[in-house]
Chains A and B, each alone.
Chain A
Amino acid sequence: MDIWATIPQLLTSGITFGAIYALVGLGFVTIARASQIINFAQGEFVMLGGMITFFLLNKIHLPYPLAALLAILIVVLIGFLLHLLVIYPLRKASLPILLMATLGASLFLSSASALFFGTLPKALPPFSARAPFEIGNISISPQSLWVLVAAFLTLFSLYLLSHRLLLGKAMEASSTDPLGADLTGISRNLMIFLAFGVSAGIGSVAGIFITPIFYVSYYSGTLIGLKGFIAAVLGGWGKHSGAILGGFALGVVESLSVAFIPSGYKDGVAFAILLLILYFRPKGILGSPFIDSRRW
């Protein structure tokens, strides 16, 4: 069968996609663990990470590592600004208003980046310039391995942040028990502020790692952000491990679907999975610590 021969190759590309979705999903989870807000501008952080690195590398001619580092810093700054200018003034607003505000911020960031960086799609050079190596008849590009490494390093550092550092504990406390956090002297606004910075950082790392594989253009952030969010819901909303598992599951299913249905439907598959998981098991595969709270 022709279809079955392509399955291993599709599987490897699915795992690469999965690592990307997992990285983006981790950004959503970081904010949700600190404030129970969904930041729809998360995908724009990914887009901006790639765009700014491209700009620094090709227009200002900085060396690659320096450009990447500077891009991460700039995106973290944008994340802080997003919190200060949009989320903080609306901290007492109701859910639809917060939702619309982050969607408005996403619209602003994507269209502003089209203005600054142009509307043409851009690609970064791969990190290690080597030809894709072959195992059997599957070809794996080295950049996919870089993405996998990035996903697991991010997971590990988030694990350290939330399980080994007092700061991470304070972030989670401000979401799970706001009154208790206030009583113990945690500044909740500061925690949400920091969570936005961390999440923007994760997003920009994801953007820098994936831009060598996929072209990034000003409108690509929205879709990748939504898929990262679907990954986080699929694995278990609010869990780091859930975002990773959901990301890989979503990536693999989406890639394999190409073998069986026309490839134009590929974007619909993720949303169909979203509807199914929300209907049959809203807390996701691994279960969710937040699902009974007031916002969802």
Chain B
Amino acid sequence: MVDQVHKEFRKRDLLYSGALWLLSLILPDPQLHYRREYQFRKRDLIYFLTIIALPMIWSDPHFHHIMVLAGIHAILALGLTLFLGYAGQISLGQAAFFGIGAYTMAILTTRCGVPSLPAFWASGLTASFFAYLIGRPILKLKGYFLALATLGFGEIFLVMVRESPGLTGGVIGIFDIPYFSLAGFIFDTYLKQYYLIWGILMGLALFSKNLIRSKMGRAFLAVASSEDGASAVGIDVSRIKLSVFVIGAAFAGLAGSLFASVMSTANPETFSLNLSVLIVMMVILGGMGNLYGPIAGAIFLTWLINGLSRYQEYSLPIYGVILILLLVFFPDGIGTRLRVRLIYLISYSGRKRRREKVEL
């Protein structure tokens, strides 16, 4: 990640040095996974307290609602960052797993009367079951073909949903999904849903952090850097790829079930290719190989879409242009690029003196 850095000091660094310093307080370390042990840091406490306090400081239902959506997107992005950011595989089919989770929740709670919590776990399981079925054959592909195969799976899922109205309600979808409830406590306001979703997100982030530091997590990184090299040191590459795909799909399924219970509806328009593209964008903008980045990317893009929605028919072209500009200027993630500039900025004066000494 650091090898694509511009090595020269640029004048524009002075322009954003203040912002860089502020970001350094909260941005995670891009090289976190290389450290042997992870200590609980001050910035983790800052994140935790911010999540707890934010909806109380900014107590506006609209804000809570957008943050609920951002949290759901963040769970999706967290699942994909394991697959794309750590294991280096690309998937454009996350929206399908999201949809499978949402429909499982919808069907189980409305038709079968299952309580929310078992339905929540069941949707994660269903999504990972489908991921296992589809991942066995297609994960031998790489690069563009893998992207295309997962995209094809997403399209097939949409066609299946539209064409089986008996099960999924067809194009119209399923309405009146009950709110998430836990032992009689119903999450019916946006504030309660905020704490539910960000609580689950924190749990999943902790899970991912432990996963990345386990033997299997190290194997993801090995597979990403070289599949031949990984198999040479005794890693079962296809098993590792399949398991990270299944885990990512389970995250997407859980996010889908939360989405269904928060929105009370599930219809096929939501789970189209645009959502998959959005999730991949969150991971890319957050930075590959970094857990907090995609969460920040999810919050950023959700707010961006919300902000653009007031321009109505102009919002989609503007959104496309912004996506391309972000990709062109921050191809390795916003946080990564800014942090690398920051590291350079701090070491600049010292390095300059050293360079002059060598030249003498």
Contacts and interface: CB of A to CB of B under 8 A. Distances in A.
A222 B152 CA distance: 13
Interface string A80-116: 0000011001101111110111011101110110110
Nearest to B276: A103
Interface in B151-182: 151-153, 155-156, 159-160, 162-163
Contacts of B53: none
Contacts of A100: 277, 280-281, 284, 323, 327
B186 interface: no
B138 A101 contact: no
A136 interface: no
Interface residues of A, number: 44
Contact of B324 (A96, A101, A271): A101
A264 B284 CA distance: 35
Given A90-B328, A108-B320, A272 B143 contact: no
Nearest to A272: B156
A107 B327 contact: no
A230 B152 CA distance: 10
Interface in B289-347: 313-314, 316-317, 319-321, 323-324, 327-328, 331
By DSSP majority rule, is chain B's interface helix, strand, loop, or mixed? helix
Given A90-B327, A100-B281, A296 B138 contact: no
B234 interface: no
A279 interface: yes
Contacts of B159: 264-265, 267-268, 271
A89 B328 CA distance: 6
Contacts of A295: 142-144
A117 to B, nearest CB: 12
Interface in A242-296: 262, 264-265, 267-268, 271-272, 274-275, 278-279, 282, 294-296
A296 B148 CA distance: 11
A63 to B, nearest CB: 31
A96 B146 CA distance: 11
A282 B281 CA distance: 27
A104 B327 contact: yes
A27 to B, nearest CB: 16
A101 B328 contact: yes
B184 interface: no
Interface string B37-56: 00000000000000000000
A90 B323 CA distance: 13
Contacts of B143: 95, 294-296
Contacts of B147: 96, 99
Contacts of B327: 90, 93, 97, 100-101, 104
Contacts of B163: 262, 264-265, 268
B350 interface: no
B333 to A, nearest CB: 10
A29 B162 CA distance: 32
A247 B314 CA distance: 35
Contacts of B314: 115
B245 to A, nearest CB: 15
Given A267-B159, A278-B149, A112 B324 contact: no
Choose among B138, B277, B280, B327 the residue with the greatest number of A CB atoms under 10 Å from its CB: B327
A105 to B, nearest CB: 6
Given A97-B331, A100-B284, A264-B159, 12 more contacts: A93-B327, A94-B331, A101-B327, A105-B320, A111-B319, A233-B145, A265-B163, A271-B156, A274-B148, A279-B137, A296-B141, A296-B145
27 contacts: A90-B331, A95-B144, A96-B90, A96-B280, A97-B327, A97-B331, A99-B147, A100-B281, A100-B327, A101-B328, A104-B320, A104-B324, A104-B327, A108-B324, A109-B320, A111-B316, A111-B317, A264-B163, A265-B159, A267-B155, A268-B160, A275-B138, A278-B138, A279-B138, A282-B145, A296-B141, A296-B145
Interface of B: 4, 84, 90, 137-138, 141-145, 147-149, 151-153, 155-156, 159-160, 162-163, 273-274, 277, 280-281, 284, 313-314, 316-317, 319-321, 323-324, 327-328, 331
